[in-house]
Every structure is written in structure tokens, then in C-alpha cells.
A and B are shown apart, each in its own frame.
Chain A
Amino acid sequence: MNALLHGRLTGLLALGAVIAILPAFLPNNFYLDIAILAGFNAVVCVGLNLLIGYAGQISLGHAGFFGIGAYASGVLVGTYGWPPVLALLAGAAFVGLMAFLVAKPILRLKGHYLAMATLGIGIIVSIVLRTESGLTGGPDGMMVEPFRIFGVELYGEKVWYWVVGVLLLGVVWLSLNLIDSPMGRALRAVHGSEVAAEVVGVDTARFKVLVFVLSAVFASVAGSLFAHYAGLITPAKADFFKSIELVTMVVFGGMASTFGAVVGAVVLTLLPQALTVFQDYQQIVLGGILMATMVFMPKGLLPTLAALIPARRRA
């Protein structure tokens, strides 16, 4: 208990400190932009990690939920003139409902079948975004209005950096709270042994659906804000490769580790920027990283590093 509580507070403080001092080391908006993208990815990965790392389920369609959030904001604000906050909430509610409706049948499936089903959802979303060009602008994407709240317009990398930073801290806080709660233990129990969880009263189906919905909503909120930040969204943000990228971030950073998911998202967002040659071969390199992680570091980067530091905090 103490160790975990300790780990949570120190971890949150450390993350907060990094977010607070990082801009001092970023010389211009180009670097801030990368940090913001890393932050958005991290928000999605923290949610996805609840599903993959803690509850032991898989989703190969999470970019689809990110995409729906993004397009909900783009379309509702741009075409229909909704206030951005309302559009964000509507997108999240829609994604939550959709995730709930599909989770019921597909979370009965296990292993490869579940992976295939979530893959299908992601692809369907991606196809709809590409073909409904009247609404979404088709393959070219659509412009998105800036985010306005109480008459203030969020504009520029410097402002968005803090928005994303606070959002990430909040999401990490929620995730850590959840994991160290009865519901969080129930989720981990589903991963450990479904039948053992059932015989002490855990309604495993309910918790699988809940965590799927929750992680989808996280992705949707990140998608909405990303759309406003970027000002332009394309269906590529919702496609299969983006989903694989998200899963790779979670697996690489460390399954069942909230901070691991953050680290994974940050590292794999930076990598293509640092190695420009990487960009042409992005899918191959991502696949390679995923495989290498599975083989050499099955627990992921952060838990593996943590295990090297004897008897210290684990978060």
C-alpha cells in the first residue's frame, strides 16, 4: 500500500516536473509541436494500456475511436457551428456508446478473434471517413476550427503544450487511481484468471466492457483536442497503421505500467523525428520494434528498467 501510494505520488510529481521544465529546453515551436504530439499519443496510450496491459484484452482499432473524436469535433464545430466543448463531449459520448455496443459481443471473443474484431471496427471507421466525403472531406481530410472556450481561443504551440500537459497529468492521475481501486483489481484479475475472478464475484464481462469503453473515450477526447490543435485532420489518423502504432507504444513502453505507456508514446513519437530515414520505413521499423520488444523485453521498457533497480518503486 505504502509503496504503491508512494509510487503514485512520486510518479505524478516527476511527470509534472518534466512537463513543467521541458519547454525551457525546447528551442522552437518545431520541438514543442513534437512534444504536443507525444502528449496526445501518451493520453491515448494510457487509456489503451488499461485495456491491454491491465485487463489483458487487445484492441487493434483504437485509432478509429481517436478518429471519430477528431471528426466529431471537426464536423460539429466546422459544419454545424457547435461550441467545441459540446462537440468534444458529444464525440466522446458517441464513441462511448459505440464502444459499448460493439464490446458486448466482441469481448466474448478471446485472443485472435478479439484482435480481428477490433481490427474490423478500426477499418470500418477508416473506410467511412474516407468515403463520406460530403461530411468528412474524404481522403484529403478537413480543416478544423480552433478551440474556443469562454471566448478564449486556444492558439499556438505554447498554449497547446500546457493544455496537453495538464490533460496528460489528469489522465495519468485517473489511471493510477483506477488501478489501485477495487475495480482496478477486478480488471487485473480478469487478466490473471477469469474463472478465479468470477468465483469471488467479479462480473468479468461487465468489467471488460467498461474498460473498453473507458479507453475508447480517452482516445476520443484526445482525438477531438488533436483536431483543434492541428487544424487539419485526415483519415490516416484513424487507420489501421495508426492503431498498430498505438499498440506498439503500449507494448514497448511497458504493459501494465501507466508511466510505461507514457514513455512508450514519447519514445516512439520522437524516433521518426530523430531519424528522418526512418519515415520511409516507418511501418517496418515499428513492426521490428514490436517484435523485438516481445522477444527481448516482454514486460516492456519501463518495467524492465525498473527491475534493474533493486527493490525500488514500481509504478
Chain B
Amino acid sequence: MNMLTTTDLTADTTAQARRVGPPILKVEHLSREFGGVLAVGDLSFTIAAGDIHSIIGPNGAGKTTLFNLVTGVYKPSGGRVLFDGADVSGMAPYRLAARGMSRTFQNLQIFFNMTALENVMVGRHLHLNTRLLPALFRFPSLVRKDREARDRAAQLMTEVGLEKYIDADAASMPYGALKRLEIARALASEPKLLLLDEPAAGLNATESREIDEVIKTVAGSGVTIVLVEHDMKMVMGISHRITALNQGRMLAEGTPQEVAANPDVIAAYLGAAP
């Protein structure tokens, strides 16, 4: 936790020099309770297009609940979510995906009944013909587009460093590779906004750095990234902005330095004196 106060704040100059993009995601007074327990309470913030925007906070701060609310996995108890200017509160995840939002999961959600490549090909779903009759009778146009999807999926796997697993069964892959497979699958849907839920959790330092590079590359290609991560070194290193949560509420927001210097944030993390 003392990472917060160390000098490891490399995003400094670049963050200040960047132009802030238009808002792509807006959360307004968002709330969600589970049986009277407030997981997220009256949360409002904006994420600018093109940013890597991290959500941090101690365990139980409501980060994953926030992800589930934004991506439609949970319906909010109150407030709204605006994506690209449209109110998408409580919209089904597959509809949000069609609008350009995708995500990965803290606890892996892999299709273990498929190969790694097929996992990523499912990510191409929105860009393929998914009707019944062309599939049953194997229309040539469907086969051609499917072959393109296969090539694209293989290319994405290479981009995230999984080229040696292209023909592997997902069930046979190690944990670190599965983390990246989820990113490749989400990217295959060509999202405008990608939410990564603890992509570095459970990884060693080397793997963590590699994920770091992958995220930067993805952001560089114009995808807005929302990142939930406990690895403070990674968060401080790659984020343009950070929102800190505690017990479902907003604690602080700003550039990495601002948040790292915020006394409330330090108190929440260290449980320090008032």
C-alpha cells in the first residue's frame, strides 16, 4: 500500500499534456443495494474518450458492482448510466456490446468447452452472420466471413502474446494466458469502451508488465479503457485519471498524483488517523 506515497508516478507529464476527450461514459447518482446493503451509493463521474481511467479502492469498495452496473449485468437501484450520450441504464449486456462496450471478468469467464481461438471468435459475434439458415446450409458468404473472423481472431491472439495457444483447448491453458485470452475476446468485438476487471490479479511481475503493455497498446489504438486493479504500480503508471471509491462512495478523483496525494485516499488504504 505504501506504493501510493512513493515516487512511482510516471504518468505525470503526459497526462497534463493530453487533450481531454469528449465524455464517452457518464454515471449519474448511480446506486445499487443488495438486501439493504449499499454496494454503490450515489456515484457520479465521467470518463473521457481515449483515457485510461482507473477505479481503485479497498476490497468491498464497490468496484466490481460498478462494473456490473455499467455493463448491464446488474440493474441499478437508482441513478443512470449514459454511454455515448444515450441512457443505457439497465440495458442488457448484449445490447451494450452492440453499442461498443465490452469487458473482462475478475473471476475468469472462459468458454472452457472451446479452443482458445474459438473463444476469441465468439468475440466476433456482432460482426458475423448469426442466422440459422445460412449456418445450417453453410452459405458461401458465411463461410468466407467466418474465415476472415478466424484470421482476425488469430491476429488478436498474437497481439496479446498468445500465438502459441492458437490451437490449444482453453481448458489446457495457464491462468495468466486466460487473462489475456479474455482481453483478446473482448477486443474482437471492436469495443469503443473496454472495462478490465483486475487484469493483473494473480499474475507475477513479468506477466503483469506484459499486461501493462497490452493495455497501453489497446489504448493507443483509440479504445477508452476503464481499469479496476489492485496493482498500484500498474495503476499509477498507465492511468490518465483515477477515481477512488470507498464503501460504495466516491472518495477522490483526479490525476494519479492528485489521487495519490489525497489524504482521504491514504486514510482509506492505510486506515490512518483522521
A182-B129, A196-B105, A199-B71 given; A177·B189 CB < 8 A = no
* Chain A 195-223 interface mask (CB, 8 Å, partner B; 1/0): 11111111110000010001000000000
Q: Which residues of B contact A188 (CB under 8 A)?
A: 111, 113-114, 118
Name the residue of chain B whose CB is nearest to the CB of A189. B122
Q: Which of B130-164 contact A (CB under 8 A)?
A: 130-132, 134-138, 142, 146-147, 149-150
A193-B110, A195-B109, A199-B103 given; A181·B142 CB < 8 A = yes
Q: Is A21 an interface residue (CB 8 A)?
A: no
Other-chain contact of A199, B97, B118, B137, B142 (Cβ < 8 Å): B97
A189-B122, A201-B189 given; A196·B111 CB < 8 A = yes
Decide: B122 and A186 in contact? CB cutoff 8 A. yes
Name the residue of chain B whose CB is nearest to the CB of A196. B109
A185 to B127, CA, bound (A): 13
Decide: A201 and B114 in contact? CB cutoff 8 A. no
Q: Which residues of A contact B103 (CB under 8 A)?
A: 199
Name the residue of chain B whose CB is nearest to the CB of A182. B128
Other-chain contact of A201, B98, B105, B149 (Cβ < 8 Å): B98
* Chain B 83-124 interface mask (CB, 8 Å, partner A; 1/0): 000000000111011100011010001111110001001111
A178-B136, A182-B149 given; A199·B93 CB < 8 A = yes
Q: Which of A151-209 contact B (CB under 8 A)?
A: 174, 177-178, 181-186, 188-189, 191-193, 195-204
Decide: B131 and A183 in contact? CB cutoff 8 A. yes
Name the residue of chain B whose CB is nearest to the CB of A181. B135
Q: Is A149 an interface residue (CB 8 A)?
A: no
A interface, size bucket? 20 to 34
Other-chain contact of B109, A177, A193, A201, A214 (Cβ < 8 Å): A193
Q: Is B125 an interface residue (CB 8 A)?
A: yes
Decide: B135 and A182 in contact? CB cutoff 8 A. yes
Q: Which residues of A contact B270 (CB under 8 A)?
A: none
Q: Is B15 an interface residue (CB 8 A)?
A: no
Q: Is B252 an interface residue (CB 8 A)?
A: no
Q: Is B188 an interface residue (CB 8 A)?
A: yes
Q: Is B20 an interface residue (CB 8 A)?
A: no
Q: Is A77 an interface residue (CB 8 A)?
A: no
Q: Which residues of B contact A68 (CB under 8 A)?
A: none
CB distance from A176 to the nearest CB of B (A): 9
Decide: B114 and A210 in contact? CB cutoff 8 A. no
Q: Is A1 an interface residue (CB 8 A)?
A: yes
CB distance from B101 to the nearest CB of A (A): 8
A-B contact count (CB 8 A): 111
A193 to B105, CA, bound (A): 11
CB distance from A18 to the nearest CB of B (A): 23
CB distance from B254 to the nearest CB of A (A): 29
Q: Which residues of B contact A63 (CB under 8 A)?
A: none
Q: Which of B172-195 contact A (CB under 8 A)?
A: 182, 185-186, 188-189
A245 to B174, CA, bound (A): 39
Q: Is A92 an interface residue (CB 8 A)?
A: no
Q: Is A37 an interface residue (CB 8 A)?
A: no
Q: Which residues of B contact A186 (CB under 8 A)?
A: 122, 125, 130
Q: Which residues of B contact A52 (CB under 8 A)?
A: none
Decide: A201 and B111 in contact? CB cutoff 8 A. no
A214 to B125, CA, bound (A): 20
Decide: B97 and A198 in contact? CB cutoff 8 A. yes
Decide: B112 and A201 in contact? CB cutoff 8 A. no
Q: Is A38 an interface residue (CB 8 A)?
A: no
A193 to B191, CA, bound (A): 20
A186 to B135, CA, bound (A): 12
Q: Which residues of B contact A210 (CB under 8 A)?
A: 132
Decide: B94 and A177 in contact? CB cutoff 8 A. no
A59 to B122, CA, bound (A): 25
Q: Is B126 an interface residue (CB 8 A)?
A: yes
A40 to B185, CA, bound (A): 39
Q: Which residues of A contact B134 (CB under 8 A)?
A: 181
Other-chain contact of A198, B92, B130, B138 (Cβ < 8 Å): B92
Q: Which residues of B contact A (CB under 8 A)?
A: 71-73, 92-94, 96-98, 102-103, 105, 109-114, 118, 121-126, 128-132, 134-138, 142, 146-147, 149-150, 182, 185-186, 188-189
**A–B Cβ pairs within 8 angstroms, 9 of them:** A181-B138, A185-B121, A185-B125, A197-B122, A198-B72, A198-B92, A198-B97, A200-B125, A201-B189
Q: Which residues of A contact B (CB under 8 A)?
A: 1, 174, 177-178, 181-186, 188-189, 191-193, 195-204, 210, 214, 256
A182-B128, A201-B189 given; 17 more Cβ-contact pairs under 8 Å: A1-B147, A177-B135, A181-B135, A181-B138, A182-B125, A192-B114, A193-B111, A196-B109, A197-B122, A198-B72, A198-B92, A199-B94, A201-B98, A201-B125, A202-B122, A210-B132, A214-B132
